[in-house]
Every structure is written in structure tokens, then in C-alpha cells.
Structure 1
Amino acid sequence: MTDFSKAPQLDPHEQHFRIPGPREGLSLFLRFLPAATTEFHPRRAVLYVHGATFPSALSVAHRFDGKSWRDALNEAGFDVWGLDFYGFGHSDRYPEMSQPAADSGPLCVATDASEQLGAAVRFILGHQNLKALSLVSHSWGSMPTCLFAGNHPALVDRLVLFAPIARREPRRYEQPPAFPAWRVVTVEDQWNRFVEDVPAHEQPVLSRVHFDEWGPRYLDSDPESRSRDPAGVKTPLGPFSEIIKAWHGQLAYDPAAVRAPVVIIRGEWDGLIPDADARWLFDALKHAPVKRDIKIGRGTHLMHLETMRFALWRECAEFLRGEDAAPIPV
């Protein structure tokens, strides 16, 4: 189990919560940073849903040059929460993660994660005495997010799908491969992900200085990471397995079930959601009362940690405020 007492406090005003999850005996970790001031009455809350390989502390709450995406949302008046799914960050590990990876199927699939998300949403709404909140997801996180939103429309105000994964046409005579329970992801694996989609003739969108600051904190997200050679973070493989399934025609949710206003925000160089994928997802979200597809130049799948992160933050905050709201400077 994760030692909750060692969860770093990323801001003096940040609050930590450990709540029961849907699996008996396993708890979930939430971090919360309320806005210092807000024009919203009642207050408005945003829950960030992370992607396939790193938790909330390294995404929405990670500060480059002293500012994070969470800080930008706070400045726009939103109370911001971050959830770590089982097997990530400071939530409990699946017991299967202490066994050989081949002994079990992939852990933390969307149906499981959507139940974890539901536990977090209900806790937040009760804690803040709210009727609904907004969800901001990254990458694979769009799957449990949209699955939950489709099943519980009254609890979701607005949806931001940053770099979501979409369905692609099935490949003839080909089935997605089987995956084990977990894998180990090294810092070098992450660096390769960060740079692989930047065209060779273009300037980098993430500085090595920033990444070298991020990398050790990534290893800190798994207390056993430095005991491995090379050092790496043990990561549930359910998310990656479902990305591959989506690209074989098997998306983990039905976009038509989503009935909240939704925006797709993606980078120009994001190889995981090219224009054709975004077009399919936009059309498939046919019952969303408001839909937007925003493409930001010079951004990849990890744009929230890159030079164009400020544009992402601004577009996210403006959409969450409502379509008629005035622009927010970031």
C-alpha cells in the first residue's frame, strides 16, 4: 500500500484526502487546492482525471517556472481537485501489482476507473455541498471520464477532453494484442514520449531543464522506482491496452451517451489524436449540447507540460466558465 503520510504538499494551501474506493480495502488519494478568490456563487469545482502513465501531481499540479495548470484554473475562480487512480501516485496499489505481470490481465481499465472516479466525484460534491462539477481529462483519462459522464449526467457540468483517444476503424483480420497487468516505465521512456511527435526541423517544445526537474518527481511517484535497474515506475496497463483497443475499433464508451457541454483540445503535433480521429469523436458526441474542437499549434500529446501550455490553460478556463464568458488572461 502507498504511504499516505509521504504525499508531498505541492502548495501551502493544498489539502489531501484519502477516501474509500470501489474495491474493498483499497483507498483513493485526492489533492485539493481551493481558489483564493472566486466570482462563482455557489463555488465551482473542477476534477482533473490523469492519463495512462503519471498522476495528478505531475500533470495538472506540476509547476514549471512557478506556475501550474491548476494555478491558472484557481486564478480563473475554480476550486481544483486531482485524483490518482489505483496504481498511480498516492492511491493504493492493486494487490496484483506485487505479483508477476503475466499472472493477471491489464489493471485499471475504464469501467474500473469510472467507478473510482464516481467515488471521488461523490466525495467532492458532498465535501463542498455542490450538485455537480466539471471534469478535465487527459488522453486515456477521457475514457473513464466520458463513461462516468454518460452514466451520471446530472453530476457533470462541463467536460474538457484534452488530447483524448478516439475510435479508429477496425483492422481487417487483426485483433488487439493481449496485455499483462502492469509494466515499468522509465524516465527515458517518458522523455521519448515527450519528444517523438515534434517534427525534426522544429525547435523543442519542452526544455531538457524542465524535464530534468520533472523526471525525479516522476520516480518519486513510486516508492520502489529506484530499486529497479533502470529506475522506473510500475504502471497499470489497462489504460494502454484500451488505447490499442480503441485503435482496433473498440472504444471503451459510447460518446453519444455524453450530454454535457464538451470541448476537445489538442495539439497540432499530437500523433495520438490526428484530425481524422478528432473529427470522428466530435461527430460521435452527438448529444452534447455544446461542442468545440480546438487545435493549438506547436503542441503534442503532452502539451500541458510544453511551451504552448498557456494557450491550453486559457482555452480550458474559458470553456469551463461558459461559452458567453469573457476571455481569461493566463
Structure 2
Amino acid sequence: MTNHDFLSEMNILTEDLRIPSDTPGIELYIRNKRPASMDTFSNEKTIVMVHGATYPIGSLYDVELDGFTFLDYLARHGYDVYAVDVRGYGGSTRPSEMQQPADLNPPLVRTETGVRDFGTAVDFVLKRRNLSKVNILGMSWGGTVAGAYTSRNNDKVNKLSLIAPQWLSFSPVPIDTGGPLGSYRLVAVGDMKERWLSAAPEHKRSDLIPEGWFEQWVEATLASDPGSQTAHPGYIRATNGPILDIREYWTVGKAFYDPKIITVPVLLVHAEWDIDVPLELAQHFFTSLTGATYRRWVEIGEGTHMVMLEKNRLQAFQAIRGFLDEAYAPAN
């Protein structure tokens, strides 16, 4: 029996949790996966993660591809894994403005709100497991949320893993298509494939997403926003607060937080065909992490911003697990 076979047979417990946010009437959805046999919990083996500006946790981290998800992978390697949807996304409460036409209200869920919701989730896990620290992970906009949270709460973070985090950009950011911003935007999920593949060289596009994976992703993503399917079939809603923050921070030379204040170990995972966070942005961010205990950059060939859902996703999974597993301590 191979190690993969053994891990695939490991029983995983899944819990879907709802916790109060710091705003009356707004609840946060958290999915927890862990080995069924796990009965002791530790700072080192617990992780809390958050999604990006468009897709919720179920669309990024818990889509079953080739028989398992990213959350499954970490749970089967001995981790107590929590993934949280900030308000307005996935299973968390959508602000009442999201039931109205988008042009009637200003952009919802600014990054500061994301940091608050993520902090609420971290504090919940710390209390639930009687821990002093957890590992945290964020992707894209979620990397900003996780990075900003860590810069303010180094004492609660064991290690920080970031997948293609936002950083200062002197070029337009593709997710911001321009024009006025309403409270949220409608995203045509089924039309995403062309944009997704366009980041890769033309001769490399045919096998970037293995057969059937895109369709599974679309199904899971649409299921994350059932309230949109009656009024807007085939679309999910994504809040525009993160897009406004791109305009007011990242593209005008203003960082939302200072990376050098982060003092914990940091892993940066990036893929070579990422047009949302180009290589030079990742490099600038990485070299700004001067206060980290230690830092590591893993560059994945033949991958885009969505590398966690592509043929080389296991390279990203293994890099993150290896970083979390190790007991490395740099020399003084």
C-alpha cells in the first residue's frame, strides 16, 4: 500500500460551524476537518485559513479533485484545519445590501472587515482548542488579510503561509476591471476558464486543468452562493470592498500593512504564470519581510494564480505541509 493509499483511507471528521461575528446579525461560517483519531491539539498542528476576494473557502480549498481537497490533504497529514468565510462569502451571512441591486450601496467588506472576521475565527479556534497560537494561511486578498492580521498579532501566530499575496502594483490589477463600484459584483463562474487559461502560454493550456476538474470547480463554486442562483443563474456575488482597497492602497503606492512588522516564520508560494500577482510583485513583497524569524519562497513552474486547483497543486500542498511540519530553527 502506498502512502497516498494509506492517507486516502484515513477517516476525516468534518464539522460545519457558525460563530457570531463582532456585528449583530452577522455569523461566520467555519469548516473544520481533522483526523477522526485526533484527540490532542497543539499550536503546531492547527491551521486557520481564509480565501481571496472572489471565491470562498469551498471554492478554493475544499473542492474534491482527484478524490481529495486541500483541507483533506492537511487533515490526513495530522492537522486540525479550519477555513473561514468572511462575511458576504460562502456560508457566512451576506450583509442585507447584497439582497439589493449593487448600484444602490457602496462597496462592501473592506479589507479591515476581513481582518476583523478572520481575527474572530482565530480567537474562536484558540479558545476551542485551548491553544496560544495557530498557523495561518491566506491566498491573494486573503494573503493581505492574513498578513495584516499577523502584523498585529504575532503572539497568536505560529507560522504564516501566503499564496500569491497582494502587494504594491504600478500596473493595473486584472481583478479590477475599472468603472464605478457597487456594493458587490456578479461573477460568471462558467466563463472563468478562458481568463484562467489565458495566463498560461498557448501551447501549455490544454493540460493545465485536468479533465473534469473545471466542471467540478464550477459546481462547487455555484453551490457556495445558492441565493444568487434564482436571480442570477450561473453567477456568484463577490463583494467590492477588496476592489476599492486595490484602488485606494495597492495601485497608489500605499501598503495596507507593513510586512517588516511580521516576526514569525513566513512561507510565500507563487506560480510562474500568475498575472494577478506577477513575479516582480512577489519578489518585492518577499524582500519586505525583513522581520520574519525566517522566510522561504517556493516558486511553482507551470501554474497560474489558481495553482491550488491545477495539475501542479500537489507541489503547493507539499510545500505548505513541509513548512508547517518542520521544526527548523535558524542559528542565532
The verdict on a shared fold, with TM-score over 0.5 as the criterion, is yes
Matched residue, 1:274: 278
Long gaps (5+) in structure 1: 1-10, 326-330
Matched residue, 2:128: 127
Provide the aligned length of Structure 1 versus Structure 2: 311
CA positional deviation for 1:122: 0.5
In the alignment, which of 247, 255, 262 is matched to residue 258 of structure 1? 262
In the alignment, which of 210, 214, 234 is matched to residue 211 of structure 1? 214
In the alignment, which of 284, 291, 295 is matched to residue 287 of structure 1? 291
- Report the 3-state secondary structure (helix = DSSP H, G, I; strand = E; otherwise coil) of the residue aligned with 1:102: helix
Cα distance in 2 for residues equivalent to 1:180 and 1:286: 37
CA positional deviation for 1:311: 0.4
Cα distance in 2 for residues equivalent to 1:273 and 1:37: 39
Matched residue, 1:14: 14
1:37/1:292 CA distance change after superposition, 3 Å: farther
Matched residue, 1:33: 33
Question: 8 Å contact 1:168–1:246 — kept in the other structure?
Answer: yes
Question: 8 Å contact 2:26–2:93 — kept in the other structure?
Answer: yes
Cα distance in 2 for residues equivalent to 1:241 and 1:192: 25
1:179/1:249 CA distance change after superposition, 3 Å: farther
Write out per-residue CA displacement over residues 204-258 of structure 1, whole angstroms, 9 at most, x where no aligned residue.
3113511112212211111233224552111111223334541332332221221
Paired AA for residue 29 in structure 2? F
Cα distance in 2 for residues equivalent to 1:145 and 1:113: 9
- Report the 3-state secondary structure (helix = DSSP H, G, I; strand = E; otherwise coil) of the residue aligned with 1:14: strand
Cα distance in 2 for residues equivalent to 1:42 and 1:225: 39
Q: Which moved more, 1:264-273 or 1:203-212?
A: 203-212
Cα distance in 2 for residues equivalent to 1:12 and 1:73: 10
CA positional deviation for 1:155: 0.7
Alignment of 1:145-156 (within 5 A): 145-156=146-157
Paired AA for residue 272 in structure 1? D
In the alignment, which of 218, 221, 224 is matched to residue 221 of structure 1? 224
- Report the 3-state secondary structure (helix = DSSP H, G, I; strand = E; otherwise coil) of the residue aligned with 2:142: helix
Aligned identity (percent) is 29
Matched residue, 1:8: none
Cα distance in 2 for residues equivalent to 1:134 and 1:237: 28
- Report the 3-state secondary structure (helix = DSSP H, G, I; strand = E; otherwise coil) of the residue aligned with 2:203: coil
- Report the 3-state secondary structure (helix = DSSP H, G, I; strand = E; otherwise coil) of the residue aligned with 1:247: helix
CA positional deviation for 1:59: 1.7
In the alignment, which of 301, 312, 317 is matched to residue 316 of structure 2? 312
Q: Which moved more, 1:313-322 or 1:220-229?
A: 220-229
Provide the alpha-carbon RMSD of the alignment: 2.3
Write out per-residue CA displacement over residues 53-77 of structure 1, whole angstroms, 9 at most, x where no aligned residue.
1111122122102111112212222
**TM-score normalised by structure 1 residue count:** 0.87
Q: Which moved more, 1:36-45 or 1:104-113?
A: 36-45
**TM-score normalised by structure 2 residue count:** 0.87
Long gaps (5+) in structure 2: 1-10, 173-177
- Report the 3-state secondary structure (helix = DSSP H, G, I; strand = E; otherwise coil) of the residue aligned with 1:205: coil
CA positional deviation for 1:170: 8.2
Matched residue, 1:60: 61
Paired AA for residue 26 in structure 2? L
CA positional deviation for 1:103: 2.7
Matched residue, 1:234: 237
Cα distance in 2 for residues equivalent to 1:52 and 1:32: 21
Paired AA for residue 186 in structure 2? V
1:264/1:178 CA distance change after superposition, 3 Å: farther
Paired AA for residue 104 in structure 1? N
- Report the 3-state secondary structure (helix = DSSP H, G, I; strand = E; otherwise coil) of the residue aligned with 1:149: helix
Matched residue, 1:196: 198
CA positional deviation for 1:133: 0.3
- Report the 3-state secondary structure (helix = DSSP H, G, I; strand = E; otherwise coil) of the residue aligned with 2:148: helix
